[in-house]
Amino acid sequence: MAASASSSDDDVVAPFAHHFDYETEVADPIRDDLPAAHRRAWARLAHPGTWWTAEERIAIAAESRAAVYCTFCRERKEALSPFALEGEHDHVSGDVLPPAAVDAVHRLVTDATRLTGSWVEGLASEGVPDTHYVELVSIVVAMRSIDGFHRAMGLAPEPLPTACPESETGPPSRKRPAVTEDAGAFVPLIVPTKLEAENQDLFPAAVVPYVIRAMSLVPDAVRWLKDLSDAHYLPMAGNAMMDFSRGRGPLSRAQTELIAGRVSAVNECFY
């Protein structure tokens, strides 16, 4: 299975059914769509993506957790410039990833507000082209979302899955979208009006916010984002709905957006 495999593919997700067993760990009821989305995420993580192998994808996930406790990251965060210090990360993935990929994960987790376009552009010469960077970002985003849910529920992080053998799954697909544009982002974006047939499912609305297009250089990264966002927040197609609770708890849309806005401000989200 590549990361693009259908999220409804029961055969692919079935081996991960023992993960995210919230019924035995949490007293409060948890909607079924949440552990289901998390299991699909673990299935994607354990398979090759578009550019990274399954082993590399799991290493990226492991580094996203290690970054929180990294001594060098803390020192760099306190520096006037994130590029002023040189040092070694407290990394956990051995030599699975290029050093630039490890550094990118740690920067994304601990100091994302000070990343620059020139830094992203320079990663290509260190073994992390823009395509690989976007897929790396998607893994970090998924991990931060799922691990954040666990912290909120008072749960320990879910053990990472084991990489599926490439002899069974095949290598990464390594297919770049045919038509992209420079829209002022750090990386090229897909043009919503010029989607290839295989990517027609990416954007359900006529107007596509940049935050949704951000990872479109790797279409499967958008699919992964949509799958988790549908469970953690609301379906992308329902963004215009002002009353969207529909069994998702007592919060109104306005209350939800107030919380989301406050969290974004605390995290210094420049979007």
Q: Give the C-alpha separation, 216 to 214, whole Å.
A: 6
| Residue 152 main-chain phi, psi, to 5 deg | -65, -30
* Residue-level pLDDT at 245: 56
In this prediction the pTM is 0.91
Q: Give the C-alpha separation, 114 to 253, whole Å.
A: 31
* Residue-level pLDDT at 178: 92
CA atoms within 13 A on the CB side of 193: 2
Contact 118, 130 (CB under 8 A): no
* Residue-level pLDDT at 271: 60
* Residue-level pLDDT at 3: 47
- For the chain, what are the domain ranges? 10-240
E-state strands within the chain: 180-181, 189-190
* Residue-level pLDDT at 237: 65
* Residue-level pLDDT at 210: 81
Sites in the chain below the pLDDT cut of 50: 1-8
Q: What angle do CA 115, 116, 120 make, to 5 degrees?
A: 95
Residue with tokens 């750090």: 186
94: left (phi over 0), alpha (psi -120 to 50) or beta: left
